[in-house]
Amino acid sequence: MSEKREAFVTLATNDSYAVGAFVLGNSLRNVKTTRELVVLITDEVTHHYRYRLRHVFDIVKLVDPFDSGDEKHLRLLGRPDLGITLTKLHCWRLTEFSKAVFLDADTLVIGNIDDLFTRPELSAAPDVGWPDCFNSGVFVYKPSMQTYQTIVAFALQFGSFDGGDQGLLNEFFNTWATSDINTHLPFTYNMTATSAYWYAPALNRFSKDIKVVHFIGALKPWHHLYNKDTGHLDLNEKFQEGQQPFLTNYVQRWWEIYTASVNKLPSEVSMQSPVVLLKYDFNLLYVRYLLLIVF
């Protein structure tokens, strides 16, 4: 490879997560990353949101969805919507990059994390629910068609113990917990903000070091209401009161980035103009053609 390219990669499987990806991409721009930004999308993302994503990401790539359809394990996890997360396996196909960092679309980057590219595959932070497993919302990896094909074959043979990508990847990279401490990212690189358990004294001590906030769980920042004129955040009534004191600040920051980023876009009228949409449709057809050849 003549040119060393590295990228931050995320995934949007529908319009809701496209909103999350839009904010994530802008948060990476805000912290002055020097790497390229890539978002994988499925057909469920509408033209309106594809247009927005193209204004912040260097590459918007259409991929086919993978869904485990594993109702039994997803029911045990309490998240029937997570089967579609297997779609993130496509990230290993981005072989134009020598190394990449995957970030779930419900993460928010607070500080520059370009140093993650010095980490080996597969580097990730422990999951608070079971620290011998890593949380797959943030991980460092090396794109490779061989790795992609091996993981897919593994998935077809063994499935995922939680029905989603995290169970699958922990089974595939099953030496993560014990083989090399260098693959263990600090919790500050994937602070799971809505976890049922959190250590308040540690949060108070290390909050200044937090790099990435991860809004795990079914309730996302976009499920709250925000008045862009007053800056007032109206939290969803299902929001857990015990977590509000520290988490509200991050939800507030998410909405501030969203509002500022949307304001930089062309008006809704110009975004819906036939010229723009026709041009984009042509580009999308070209991308589909390339996908058939390359992928």
Model confidence pLDDT, tens digit, residues 122-149 = 999 999 989 999 999 999 999 999 999 9
CA atoms within 13 A on the CB side of 275: 2
Match 């997803």 to its residue by tokens.
Answer: 74
User: Which structural domain range is residue 102 located in?
Assistant: 6-263
Residue 1 lies in a domain: no
Residue 42 lies in a domain: yes
- pLDDT(67) > 50: yes
Give the model's pLDDT for residue 212.
98
Out of 51-60, 103-112, 148-157, least confident range: 148-157
CATH number of domain containing 83 = 3.90.550.10
Residue percentage of the chain with pLDDT more than 70 = 78
Give the model's pLDDT for residue 286.
31
Burial state string for 122-147 with b = 16 or more CB within 10 A and e = fewer than 16: bbbbbbbeeeebbbbbbbbbebeeeb
Residue 270 lies in a domain: no
Nearest to 266 by CA among 256, 281, 276, 253: 276
Q: Are 22 and 115 in contact (CB under 8 A)?
A: no
- pLDDT(76) > 60: no
Overall average pLDDT of the 193-222 stretch: 82
Please give the residue that has the higher pLDDT: either 85 or 92. Answer: 92
Overall average pLDDT of the 217-226 stretch: 88
- pLDDT(16) > 70: yes
Residue 78 lies in a domain: yes
- C-alpha distances (whole Å) from 9 to each of 6, 57, 93, 106 are 10, 9, 11, 13
- pLDDT(292) > 60: no
**Which residues, in sequence order, are CB contacts of 14 under 8 Å at separation 6+?**
42, 44, 45
Please give the residue that has the higher pLDDT: either 138 or 275. Answer: 138
Overall average pLDDT of the 241-258 stretch: 79
Domain count, the chain: 1
Give the model's pLDDT for residue 19.
97
Residue percentage of the chain with pLDDT more than 90 = 59
Q: Which alpha helices (H) appear in 71-176, and where do they start and end?
A: 71-77, 145-158, 165-172
- pLDDT(66) > 90: no
Give the model's pLDDT for residue 228.
85
What phi and psi values does residue 35 have, to the nearest 5 degrees? -95, 165
Q: Which long-range contacts (CB under 8 A, 24 or more apart) does 169-173 make?
A: 169/122, 169/134, 169/136, 169/139, 170/133, 170/134, 170/136, 173/122, 173/134
Confidence of residue 169 (pLDDT cuts 50, 70, 90): very high
- pLDDT(278) > 50: no
Overall average pLDDT of the 154-182 stretch: 90
Give the model's pLDDT for residue 247.
79
Other beta carbons within 10 angstroms of residue 261's beta carbon come to 19
- pLDDT(37) > 90: yes
Q: What's this model's pTM, rounded to 2 decimal places?
A: 0.84
Three-class DSSP category at 20 = helix
Confidence of residue 239 (pLDDT cuts 50, 70, 90): low
- C-alpha distances (whole Å) from 233 to each of 191, 239, 248 are 21, 12, 8
Residue 280 lies in a domain: no
* Class of residue 159 by CB neighbours under 10 A (exposed 0-12, middle 13-18, buried 19+): middle
Residue 283 lies in a domain: no
Retrieve residue 247's tokens.
Answer: 């988490």
Residue 269 lies in a domain: no
Residue 268 lies in a domain: no
Overall average pLDDT of the 60-83 stretch: 54
Overall average pLDDT of the 258-287 stretch: 51
Q: What is the residue-averaged pLDDT of the chain?
A: 82
CA–CA separation, 189 and 111 (whole Å) = 9
